[in-house]
Structures are given as structure tokens and as C-alpha cells.
């Protein structure tokens, strides 16, 4: 390995990116765009869910339980409540998509609830309070939010006004991520995804071009070795991945107040290894693609499994058992896991070294195979 030649190849690669202003801009703006889009859409908690309340509760001696529950709901912003008089009208609103849910209190709601409370105090059994919830569960996240919200309101009304204390109270201790929001969870994922996608695409297209224009052959007639060519490209695209992840980190910190509990350098090291490995993968697949058009078609093939199975947006625990081994084979899985642990848990090399070893192995394997594939010629 002659370092001068490795650097010369790397410089050449970076220079051609610099001359191509649109691509260069894309390299910086694309991850920015991704983090902004994902951040603003998924980042915030769910709020202003349109629901209809039909409250026919006639109340009791101490007022209406239904009124108290609704009042409690109004103190938060999750639900945006419209009041109607007829349960049928409320149901129509749900059916026609104007509201996600109808919360319906029957006229005897308070009396039934109070009877149930008295009965339980007397250790006997009586009627129970029934609250009807008509839900449009098209979006499971929203449906879940509505259910949770109503349950919360019921609990607090029971405790505050009827002193019905729950028997078991969960004492939550956040070991990690006490202040973590959804954005903190997926910012590391987006970073890994962007680095992988870009280095893979750039690499496969560059090498298809190197092969089809004859420049690769020409390089191979000079003293440069296969390993030096591959090393030079790895260095260049590793740098590209570093620049990108820095952009994402800074954007996530400034736009979404994402905190980095651990070392930012460790995050960048992880992304660098992932970038180098992805470029090696692109290099390997470039020998199968005959032209740039075919090369582009490889991108979704690599990208989709990574997006879906590497735990970028959905936790690995949500991946079906059959596909779990696939997740274990996707390098992005390890990068995202490591970045998350560093950024949210504040872990260091002592804890994330297994992931880094996997990524380094991935990079080493793809680079060695790439160099070998160059050597093997007719």
C-alpha cells in the first residue's frame, strides 16, 4: 500500500464530487431534508385529534362524572373535542371521517358509576359504569392515543373526586432516555440510513462508470494496486459519510434539541465504518450491474430491507420471528443500535464495541472482496 496513491485516488473521487455541484449539494441537503421531514412529522407527540363527545349524563347528587372526565380531557391538547347532542350524529361524524372517535356518556352514567363505587366499598357487586367509545382505528397510533387519553382522564377523576385509589401503582424509573422523545430514537437511525444510502449509491454508480468508460482498466495499467484503488474510494466515501452525519447531528441538535449523551466522535466513527462498508458493497455489486441504470435499480433492493428490518423506525422487536435473522445480517442494524446507545444511553466503547467490531468486519470483508474482484480478470 502506497499512501500517496491511496490519497490520490481519494482526492480524485472527492474532486469529481466537488465539480458536480448538484450532487455535492444533494449530499449535504438530502440528509438535512430527511431529518427535517422525519423530525417534523414523527417527532412531535400526537395532538389535536378530532373527537366528538356526546354527553347525555344526567349527573347525581355530587355532580356529573362525565362532566369531570370531559373537563379533564380539556386540560390537555391531545384531543380536540366537538360536542354534539345525538349519539347518531356522533357516529356519523366518525363514519364520515370528520372525527376519529365518539365518546358517548349515557344518561345514567353517573348513577351507575356511583353505584359501582358504593358496591365495591361494601364489598358487594353491582352495576358498572359504562362509557361507549366508537373508534376509527384506521390509524393505530391515533386510536391508541385516544384510548390512553380517556383512561388517563377516568383514572384522575376517580382518584381526585371519588378517592378510589388504585391498588397497584407503577413506580417508573427511567434508566436511560428519561427526557427522550421519538426524535431522539430515530435521529440515529436516519443518520445511519442516510450514510448508508448515499455511500452505496455513489459507490455503485462511480464504479459502473469506471468500468464502462475504461478508466478502471487504465488505472490498472499503472503501478496502482487493486487494494489502493479500493482503499482510496473507501477513504473518500468515508469522508462523505462523515460530513453527512455531522450535518445530521448538528441539524438534529439545533432543530430538534436532540441531546447526545455520549461522545459525538464515537457516533462519527460508527458512521464512518458503516459508510466504508456500504461503499464496498456498492463496489461489489457494481461488477454485476452493466450500466448506471441497472446500478440504480440495486438501490431499493439494498435500501428497503434496511429501512424496514434494521430498526430505523420500528423497533427490532416488531420484526416477525422469520425475518429476525435477516435483521441480524443487515449492517445498518448494528450501526443504528450503536448510535442509539451512544446518543441516548451515553454508552462508550466499553459497551458498543461488539457493534463496532461487526461494522469493522463488514467494511474489511467488502473491501477485501472488492480488491479481489478487481484482481480476477480474464
Partner 1 sequence: MNDSISEMETRSARHLEDANMHVVRTRGLSKAFGTITALEGLDLDIPKGCVYGMIGPNGSGKTTTIRILNGLLRASSGKAWLMDEAVPVTSNIHRIGYMPQEMAIYMDLTVLENLELFAGMYSMRGERFKERAGHLLDMIDLKDRGCSLVSELSGGMKHRVSLACALIHDPELVFLDEPTVGVDPELRAGFWDYFSELKRAGKTVVLTTHYMDEAVRCDRVGMMRLGRMIAEDTPEGLTESTGTDNLEDAFLRKAREGGG
Residues interacting with partner 1, by CB under 8 A? 2, 4-5, 7-9, 11-12, 15-16, 19-20, 213-215, 217-224, 377-378
For residue 79, list its beta bridge partners. Answer: 49
User: At its nearest, how many Å lie between partner 1 and the CB of residue 270?
Assistant: 30
In angstroms, what is the minimal distance from the CB of 345 to partner 1?
A: 43
Decide whether 11 or 368 has the Cβ nearer to partner 1. 11
Rounded to the nearest whole angstrom, what is the least distance from the CB of residue 17 to partner 1 in the complex?
8
Residue environment code for 85-105, b if the CB has 16+ CB neighbours within 10 A, otherwise e? eebeebbebbeeeebbbbbbb
* Phi/psi at 126 (5° precision): -140, -160
Query: CB of residue 338 vs partner 1: minimum separation in angstroms?
Result: 34
**Which of 67, 292 has the CB closer to partner 1?**
292
CB-wise, 140 or 378, nearer to partner 1?
378
Pull the grid cell for residue 120. Answer: 365495591
Considering beta carbons, is residue 224 or 296 the nearer one to partner 1? 224
Given a contact cutoff of 8 angstroms between Cβ atoms, the answer to whether 363 and 200 are in contact is no
Q: Shortest Cβ distance from residue 18 to partner 1 (Å)?
A: 9
Measured from the CB of residue 16, what is the shortest distance to partner 1 in angstroms? 4
Q: How far is CA 340 from the centre of its chain?
A: 11
Residue with cell 382522564: 153
What CA–CA distances, in Å, run from 303 to 37, 198, 278, 282? Answer: 18, 10, 11, 12
Rounded least distance, CB 209 to partner 1, Å? 9
Query: Based on CB atoms, which residue is closest to partner 1, 219 or 260?
Result: 219
Nearest CB to partner 1, comparing residues 10 and 359 = 10
| Nearest distance from C-beta of residue 212 to partner 1, angstroms | 9
Burial class of residue 31 (count of CB atoms within 10 Å of its CB; 0-12, 13-18, 19+) = buried
Cα separation, 185 vs 190, in Å, equals 10
CB 260 within 8 A of CB 267: yes
Taking the least distance from each CB to partner 1, the nearer of 99 and 374 is 374
| Residue 117: Cβ-neighbour burial (10 angstroms; 0-12, 13-18, 19+) | middle
CA distance 241 to 192: 9
Which residue number, 40 or 372, has a Cβ lying nearer to partner 1? 372
Closer to partner 1 by CB, 8 or 131: give it: 8
Question: What is the grid cell recorded at 126?
Answer: 353491582
Largest pairwise CA distance in the chain: 97
How do 101-105 and 131-135 pair as beta strands?
Answer: antiparallel
Give kind and range of the element (H or E) at residue 211. Answer: helix 182-213
Alpha helices in 122-181 (DSSP H): 140-162
Report, in Å, the least distance between residue 356 CB and partner 1. 32
CB count, 10 Å around CB of 376? 8
Amino acid at each position: 500500500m502506497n499512501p500517496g496513491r491511496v490519497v490520490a485516488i481519494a482526492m480524485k473521487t472527492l474532486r469529481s464530487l466537488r465539480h458536480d455541484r448538484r450532487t455535492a449539494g444533494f449530499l449535504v441537503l438530502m440528509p438535512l431534508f430527511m431529518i427535517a421531514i422525519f423530525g417534523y412529522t414523527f417527532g412531535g407527540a400526537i395532538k389535536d385529534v378530532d373527537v366528538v363527545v356526546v354527553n347525555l349524563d344526567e349527573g347525581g347528587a355530587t355532580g356529573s362524572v362525565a362532566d369531570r372526565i370531559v373537563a379533564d380531557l380539556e386540560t390537555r391538547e391531545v384531543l380536540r373535542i366537538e360536542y354534539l347532542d345525538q349519539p347518531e350524529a356522533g357516529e356519523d361524524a366518525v363514519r364520515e371521517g370528520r372525527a376519529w372517535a365518539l365518546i358517548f356518556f349515557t344518561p345514567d352514567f353517573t348513577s351507575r358509576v356511583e353505584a359501582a363505587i358504593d358496591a365495591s366499598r361494601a364489598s358487594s357487586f353491582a352495576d358498572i359504569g359504562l362509557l361507549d367509545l366508537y373508534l376509527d382505528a384506521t390509524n393505530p397510533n391515533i386510536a391508541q392515543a385516544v384510548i390512553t387519553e380517556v383512561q388517563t382522564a377516568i383514572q384522575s377523576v376517580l382518584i381526585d373526586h371519588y378517592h378510589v385509589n388504585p391498588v397497584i401503582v407503577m413506580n417508573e424509573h427511567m434508566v436511560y432516555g428519561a427526557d427522550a422523545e421519538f426524535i431522539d430514537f430515530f435521529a440515529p437511525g436516519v443518520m445511519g440510513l442516510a450514510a448508508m444510502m448515499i455511500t452505496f449509491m455513489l459507490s455503485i454508480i462511480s464504479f459502473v462508470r469506471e468500468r464502462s468508460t475504461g478508466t478502471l482498466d487504465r488505472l490498472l495499467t499503472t503501478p496502482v494496486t487493486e487494494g489502493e484503488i479500493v482503499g482510496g474510494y473507501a477513504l473518500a466515501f468515508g469522508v462523505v459519510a462523515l460530513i453527512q452525519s455531522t450535518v445530521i447531528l448538528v441539524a438534529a441538535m439545533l432543530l430538534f434539541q436532540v441531546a447526545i449523551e455520549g461522545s459525538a466522535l464515537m457516533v462519527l466513527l460508527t458512521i464512518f465504518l458503516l459508510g466504508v462498508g456500504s461503499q464496498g458493497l456498492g463496489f461489489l455489486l457494481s461488477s454485476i450491474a452493466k450500466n448506471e441504470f441497472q446500478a440504480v435499480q440495486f438501490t431499493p433492493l439494498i435500501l428497503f430491507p434496511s429501512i424496514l428490518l434494521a430498526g430505523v423506525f420500528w423497533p427490532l422487536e416488531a420484526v416477525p420471528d422469520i425475518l429476525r435473522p435477516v435483521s441480524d445480517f443487515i449492517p445498518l442494524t448494528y450501526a443504528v443500535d450503536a448510535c442509539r446507545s451512544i446518543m441516548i444511553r451515553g454508552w462508550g466503547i466499553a459497551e458498543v464495541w461488539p457493534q463496532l467490531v461487526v461494522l469493522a468486519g463488514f467494511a474489511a470483508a467488502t473491501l477485501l472482496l472488492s480488491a479481489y474482484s478487481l484482481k480476477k480478470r480474464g
